[in-house]
Amino acid sequence: SVEPWLKTRRPPPGGKEYLQSPQDRKKLDGLYECILCACCSAACPSYWWNPEEFLGPAALIHAYRWIQD
């Protein structure tokens, strides 16, 4: 299953959160136009044929956001 949170090997120094640089944030441009409504699943043949194994395009973009972030 998908675990939608970040995992770190050790806590950040000083007990503070990790900050995101403007350059790292720019990598996410283009990913947040999708509102995760999953309407694209209705048009996805891979999802029609194998919904038990393929989570669909909305799930993939959501996972990719976490990976890139």
C-alpha 27/C-alpha 55 separation (Å) is 24
Is the overall model pTM greater than 0.75, yes or no?
no
Q: What is the pLDDT along the chain (69 residues), one digit of tens a residue?
A: 777 777 788 888 887 877 788 998 888 787 778 887 888 888 889 888 998 888 888 888 888 877 876
Please, how many CA atoms are within 13 Å of residue 68, restricted to the half-sphere of its CB?
A: 16
Residues in contact with 36: Cβ distance below 8 Å, sequence separation at least 6, in sequence order: 58, 61, 62
